[in-house]
Amino acid sequence: MLDSVQLHDLTFTPYLSARQIQERVQELGRQIAEDYAGKRPLFIGILNGAFLFMADLARACPIEADFAFVRLSSYEGTSSTGSVKTMIGLREPVEGRHLILVEDIIDTGQTLHAFLPELARQKPASVKVAALLSKPQARKVAFEAEYTGFEIPNEFVVGYGLDYNELGRNLPDIYSLAASTLP
């Protein structure tokens, strides 16, 4: 893990190591495998942030399953815009399917809060959410994922899929915005 990471104008410091992340993802994968054995769930990864989490979670969950990605972004820079865009890119019919939405982070909760009813209208058999990270203090609407990797304070983080203005997604570890560099 690097001592610090510079992305654009900001400096980030170590927060969760790749090893910590991998251990937790393995646990989540085993849990989901237990809960969904014989059900052939459809994992829906939310791009771009969930691409690494989805890849590792898929390998940690050795059951029959389908995998798809959608795009659904409502975030720019380091603060939520609050504008919720709709889901694009899902070709698979979801009616009657057990869906597991895979998210990098639950922050204000608004994105999924607005989007889940839209998905429910397509009559899936069930919908659960797996989020690598959750910031409970940032919630604007009540929302909890059924599977959460780590609860973290309300600080901006990057790495393992999470970006700061599109940089940092490919870092294997997660870094947090150092307090001293806050504007």
35 is catalytic: no
The residue (of 41 and 45) whose beta carbon lies closer to ligand HPA is 45
Q: Quote the least distance from Cβ 75 to Mg ion, whole Å.
A: 5
Q: Tell me how far CA of residue 36 lies from CA of 40, 62, 71, 97, 181, in angstroms.
A: 7, 10, 24, 12, 44
Site membership for ligand HPA, residue 156 (CB under 6 A): yes
Site membership for ligand HPA, residue 25 (CB under 6 A): no
Nearest-angstrom CA–CA distance, 89 and 166: 20
The residue (of 32 and 134) whose beta carbon lies closer to ligand HPA is 134
CB 133 within 8 A of CB 150: yes
Window contacting Mg ion (CB under 5 A); options: 14-22, 67-75, 96-104, 150-158: 67-75
CB 160 within 8 A of CB 22: no
42-47 and 10-16 strand pairing: unpaired
Q: Quote the least distance from Cβ 67 to Mg ion, whole Å.
A: 22
Site membership for ligand HPA, residue 171 (CB under 6 A): no
* Active-site pick, 56, 104, 107, 173: 107
Q: Where are the beta strands (DSSP E) in 10-144?
A: 10-16, 42-47, 66-71, 75-76, 79-80, 98-106, 126-134
Closest residue by Cα to residue 141 from 111, 116, 115, 104? 111
Residue 40: what are its φ and ψ, rounded to 5°?
Answer: 45, 70
Site membership for Mg ion, residue 74 (CB under 5 A): no
* Interacting residue with ligand HPA among 63, 75, 124, 146 (CB under 6 A): 75
Site membership for ligand HPA, residue 150 (CB under 6 A): no
Interface residue list for ligand HPA (CB under 6 A) = 75, 105, 107, 156-158, 162-163
Interface residue list for Mg ion (CB under 5 A) = 75, 163
Catalytic residues: 107
